[in-house]
Structure 1
C-alpha cells in the first residue's frame, strides 16, 4: 500500500478545513438576505467558525527516559531543518512536560518555562498559563542556531535541592528508593514544571501541537497530565526501546496512564518500538533480522494486550538521518514511513470525523432547518398558485366563500399561536428546573464540604471514602440533569408536533441537547481518578501533597464538565424554538397575503394575473435559494480532501490553494 506522508496529509486537512470555513461564512449572510437570521443563529455561526480557526491537532508522546522519544519527534516533524531541532542526546533530555506549537495570537517564537516551585500552589497548569508573570520567557532567534540550542536546552535543566524541599514539592519519597539505607543530603529534580515552545514551523502553523512527556515520575506527580492533557489528545504514541523491551517502569506507565486512553477510544493509540537499529546485525541475513524484529513486535503486543498492527517497529535515529541525507533506502528500512502513514490516515481521519460531527450537529442542522422552511415556502407558493389559477372565471360567490374559509383558518391559527405562547412559558419553567439541576453554587457546596472532610481524614481509607461519596453525590446530580433534560426534550417535541400536524408545517428537527457525552466524560474522569489514586507512585508520596494535587485536578475537571454542560443547555434553550418561530411568522404572513389577494381579486379581476406572475417569481427565487442551500450542505458533508476516492482509508489529493 502506498505510504502517505503525514506532512502532506496535514496540509490537505488544512485545505479541507478552510473549505468548511468558507462555506459556513456564506451561510450567515444568506440567512440575513432571506430574513431568517437572529442574533442567536449568528452567534452560533461565529462560535463554530472560531472553533475551527483555533482547532488544534494534538499528538502526545509518552515514554520512560532514554527511549528515543525526542529523537522520534525530530524525525517525524522537524527533519526538514536538516538537523535536530529539539535537544536529543544519550540519557535524559526532556525533564518536564513540554508543549510544542505555534502561538498564532502572538505570532512569535519563544520558550516559556514554569518554575518547579509552582507545584506548591493550589493552581492548575491550565490556569497558570493565563498568568504570564509565573513563567520565565526566552525569545527564540530562529536564524541563530546557537541561540536556539541554548534556549531549547533549558528544558533539560535540573537543580539540586534538599530532601525536605524535594519531599515538600512531592518529588521524593523514601518508599520509592527502598535500596537506600538513608536518604541522600541532596536530590536532583527538574528545574521546570512545564515548558511551552512556540516555533514557526509549517506543521505547527497549521494547528499541530506536540505534547512531550518525560517519564513515569512526571505522569505520576502531575495529575493534570493524566486527567486533562492526555485524554484531550487525538493521538498518543507510547514509545518503547527495542534494546530494553518492556521494562517494569514502561509497564507501570502503560497500566496506570495509557491503558485508560485505549479503553476510552479504539483509535488514536500507537505503540512505537524504537531503536530497532540495535537489532541490525551485519552477521545476520536480512530475513533473520526481520524475523527477530517481528518476534519482538509480537511479544510487545502480547504483553500490552494490543494487536500487532498497533505496534510500529522503527528507528527514529536512522529515519532522521535518512531524511536529512535523502537516503530513501535507509528511510524505508527505518520503518518511519509506516508510522507516518498511520498517523496521516488514522489520526487525521479521527480529527476530520470529529469536525464533521461537530459542524453537522450544529451548522448542518441549521442548514437542514433552513431548507425545510424554504421547502415549506415552496409548497405554500405552489398551493396559492394553484388556488389562484382555479379562480379564473369563477363567480364572486366562490371567491367570497374562499375568503370566509380563509378568515376562519386565520382565526384558528391565531388561537394556536396564543397557545404557543403558553407552551413557551411552560418551557421556561421546565428550563428553570433543568438549570437548577446544574447549578454550580450547589456543586461548589458539595466540593467544599468534601474538601473539608478530606483535609480532616488522616488515613488512605478515609480519603477514598470521601472521594467515593463525592462522586456518588455528583452522579446523583447528573442523573437529575438527565431526567430534567428528557422532560424538556419531550415538551419541545410536542410543541413542534402540534404545528406540524395541525397546520402542515414542514417537519423540522429541533436542536436537541444530549447529556450523554457529559455523563461519559464524568465516568471516564472517575476511572482516571481511581487509577491515579491507586498508582504506586502516588501511594508512596506524601499524602497531604498527593491529596492536594489530585483533588485540585479532579475537582477542577468535574466542575468544568458541569460548567460546559450548563453553557450548552443555556445555548440550547435559547435557540431550540427559533426554527418554529420563523415558521409561525412566515405562515402568518402567508395567510395575510392570501386573504389580501382574495380581497383584491374580488374588487378587480385584473389583479389576478398580476398576482399569479408575482407568485411564480417568488416560487422561482425560493427554488434557487434552496439549490444554494443544498450546495452548502453538500460542501459541509464533503470529506473528499481526505478521502478522494471514497476508500476506507483517506487518500492524499493534489494540492489546492486555500484562499
Structure 2
C-alpha cells in the first residue's frame, strides 16, 4: 500500500471514529438527561429510583467520548531522530530536528486553528507564548551540553513543565495528540516527567536507531518502566538507510543482506517479549524499520509523495489498525456496556416500583428485611462452599509445607467475601432508598397511580430508544471494518 493510500485511509478511519464517538456521545447525553429528568419528576410523584450512579457514569462517558483523542507518546534516547520522525509523520518541518540540537522540553503536539507555541512553567509563572523560530532557538541544546547536564543530574530548563505546540494539521484535527519526550538518557527528573504520560497514552512510539541496536540504556528503560505494564509499544528502528551507508561496498547485495539480518536478530532477541499479546507473537505488527530523514525530505518537496522504501506506509497501516479498530472498538464496546447497564438498572427499578404503587409500603419494607437476611445467608453459603471445594482440590503439600500459599489463598477468599458483601450491601441500601422515597411521597401526598404508571412506562421506552441508537452505531462501525 502506498503512503498516500495509507495516509488517506488513516484520515478516513479517524473521521469515521470521530463521527461514531460524537453520535454515541449525544445518545449517552440524552440517556443521562432522560434518567435525570425522571428522577427530578419522581420528587413530586412516587419518589426517585436511586439511579444517581448510572447518571454519573454515562455523563462522564459522554464527555470523554466528545473530547476523545488518541494520545501517542514518543519515547527514545537522545539523538535517535524522534523529532525527525514526527516531522516526517506530519509532513512538515515543525519540531526542532537539526543535526546537532536536542529537543530539551517535553512537547505536546495538538490541533489548533492557528500556529502557536505555549510554554507552561512549574514555578507559578503564567504560560508564555512564542513563535516557532524562537521556540526552536530557545529550547534546544547541544548534545555535549545535554551530556554534561545529565552527568550533573540537572535539567536544561528546570522551570519549564512542558510546551504545547498547536498546529492546523489534518492528522491532529482528526483526533491525534502526540507527546514528544526528551531523551531517556537525560536527568531522572525529566524521565519522571515523561513517565507521567505513559499510563495515559493509547500507544507508545519507541524510537531506536539501526546503528546503535538496543543499547544498555534502552534495555534498562524497557525493563524498568515498560515491561509487564500491559502497554502497547511500536518500536521504530530509525535510520535504517544508514545500514547500507556503513558498508565498505554499499552496492554489495550479499553484504547488505547479512548486515541487515544480524541487526534484525539483535532487535528480535531484545524486543520480542514486548510484542506478545495473550501468547500470540505480533512482532511484525509492532517493529518497523524506518528511514525518517528520507521520508521527511520527500514530504517537504511533495506532501503527497510516495514513501515506498522508507517503512512509513507499513507503519501507518499498523498504527491505523490499532487505533481505529482495536482501541476505538474496545472503547466503544465499554461505553455500550455502560449504556446497557444504565438501561437495565432503569428497567429493573421501574419493574420494582410499579407493583409498589398499590402495595402496603410497610409490608414491602418487611420484605426488604427478609430479603437482606436471605441474601446475607446466601453469601455466607457461597463463600463457605467455594472454600471447601478449593481446599479439597489443593495438594496437601501446599497446605502443610507452604504457609505463603495458604496465606495467599486465605487472603484471596477474604477479599472475595468483602467484595461480595459490599455489592450486596450497596444493592440493599439502594433498594431501601427507593422504598424510603416512596414512603415519604405516600405520606405527604396522594399519588396518581395511572399518571405515575404512564410516566414510568414512558421512561422505559425512552431509555430503550437511546440504547437502540447506541447499539446501531456500534454495529455500523463493526460492519465498516469487517
TM-score over 0.5 for the alignment?
A: yes
Residue 196 (str. 1) matches residue 196 (str. 2): no
Q: Could you tell me whether the CA contact under 8 Å between 2:93 and 2:300 is conserved in 1?
A: no
1:60 corresponding residue in structure 2: 73
**Superposition deviation, residue 632 in structure 1:** 4.4
Aligned pairs for 1:166-315 (under 5 A) are 171-173=150-152, 190-191=156-157, 193-201=160-168, 202-218=170-186, 220-225=188-193, 227-258=195-226, 260=227, 263-265=228-230, 268-279=232-243, 284=251, 293=260, 296-306=263-273, 307=275, 308-309=283-284, 310-315=286-291
Q: Could you tell me whether the CA contact under 8 Å between 1:108 and 1:200 is conserved in 2?
A: yes
Task: Tell me the SS of whatever aligns to 1:196.
Answer: strand
- Structure 1 gap ranges (5+): 115-127, 140-146, 177-187, 385-405, 427-478, 497-575, 598-610, 648-659
Q: Could you tell me whether the CA contact under 8 Å between 2:87 and 2:93 is conserved in 1?
A: yes
Task: Tell me the SS of whatever aligns to 2:24.
Answer: helix
**Superposition deviation, residue 233 in structure 1:** 2.0
Task: Tell me the SS of whatever aligns to 2:31.
Answer: helix
2:104 corresponding residue in structure 1: 95
Tell me the number of residue pairs that the alignment of Structure 1 and Structure 2 aligns.
417
Give me the whole-angstrom Cα distance separating, in 1, the residues matched to 2:65 and 2:436: 33
Q: Could you tell me whether the CA contact under 8 Å between 2:204 and 2:234 is conserved in 1?
A: yes
Aligned pairs for 1:498-577 (under 5 A) are 577=429
Q: Could you tell me whether the CA contact under 8 Å between 2:206 and 2:234 is conserved in 1?
A: yes
Residue 320 (str. 1) matches residue 287 (str. 2): no
Quickly say closer, same or farther: Cα 1:632–1:418, change in 2 above 3 A.
farther
CA deviation string 1:264-316 (max 9, x = no partner): 11x52111111122245796488986775465334312133445412101111
Give me the whole-angstrom Cα distance separating, in 2, the residues matched to 1:328 and 1:84: 15
Quickly say closer, same or farther: Cα 1:136–1:372, change in 2 above 3 A.
closer
2:364 corresponding residue in structure 1: 413
1:476 corresponding residue in structure 2: none
Q: Could you tell me whether the CA contact under 8 Å between 1:157 and 1:191 is conserved in 2?
A: no
2:379 corresponding residue in structure 1: none
Residue 29 (str. 1) matches residue 33 (str. 2): yes
Give me the whole-angstrom Cα distance separating, in 2, the residues matched to 1:422 and 1:199: 60
**Superposition deviation, residue 366 in structure 1:** 1.6
CA deviation string 1:493-538 (max 9, x = no partner): 2685xxxxxxxxxxxxxxxxxxxxxxxxxxxxxxxxxxxxxxxxxx
- Equivalent in 366, 373, 393 of residue 342 of structure 2: 366
1:69 corresponding residue in structure 2: 82
Aligned pairs for 1:591-610 (under 5 A) are none
Residue 20 (str. 1) matches residue 20 (str. 2): no
Give me the whole-angstrom Cα distance separating, in 1, the residues matched to 2:327 and 2:27: 19
Task: Tell me the SS of whatever aligns to 2:137.
Answer: helix
1:634 corresponding residue in structure 2: 471
Quickly say closer, same or farther: Cα 1:31–1:49, change in 2 above 3 A.
same
Quickly say closer, same or farther: Cα 1:195–1:352, change in 2 above 3 A.
same
**Superposition deviation, residue 331 in structure 1:** 0.6
2:380 corresponding residue in structure 1: none
Aligned pairs for 1:429-468 (under 5 A) are none
Give me the whole-angstrom Cα distance separating, in 1, the residues matched to 2:237 and 2:204: 14
Q: Could you tell me whether the CA contact under 8 Å between 1:297 and 1:311 is conserved in 2?
A: no
1:138 corresponding residue in structure 2: 129
Give me the whole-angstrom Cα distance separating, in 1, the residues matched to 2:288 and 2:136: 28
Give me the whole-angstrom Cα distance separating, in 1, the residues matched to 2:107 and 2:87: 14
Give me the whole-angstrom Cα distance separating, in 2, the residues matched to 1:159 and 1:191: 15
1:490 corresponding residue in structure 2: 421
**Superposition deviation, residue 629 in structure 1:** 4.6
- Equivalent in 298, 310, 332 of residue 356 of structure 1: 332
TM-score, reference length from structure 1: 0.52
**Superposition deviation, residue 88 in structure 1:** 1.0
CA deviation string 1:550-573 (max 9, x = no partner): xxxxxxxxxxxxxxxxxxxxxxxx
**Superposition deviation, residue 422 in structure 1:** 11
Q: Could you tell me whether the CA contact under 8 Å between 1:64 and 1:215 is conserved in 2?
A: yes
Residue 86 (str. 1) matches residue 95 (str. 2): yes
Give me the whole-angstrom Cα distance separating, in 1, the residues matched to 2:433 and 2:203: 43
**Superposition deviation, residue 320 in structure 1:** 2.4
- Structure 2 gap ranges (5+): 43-48, 276-282, 377-409
Quickly say closer, same or farther: Cα 1:20–1:632, change in 2 above 3 A.
same
Quickly say closer, same or farther: Cα 1:349–1:587, change in 2 above 3 A.
farther
* Structure whose CA Rg is larger: 1
Q: Could you tell me whether the CA contact under 8 Å between 1:59 and 1:234 is conserved in 2?
A: yes
Task: Tell me the SS of whatever aligns to 1:333.
Answer: coil
**Superposition deviation, residue 343 in structure 1:** 1.4
Q: Which moved more, 1:320-329 or 1:339-348?
A: 320-329
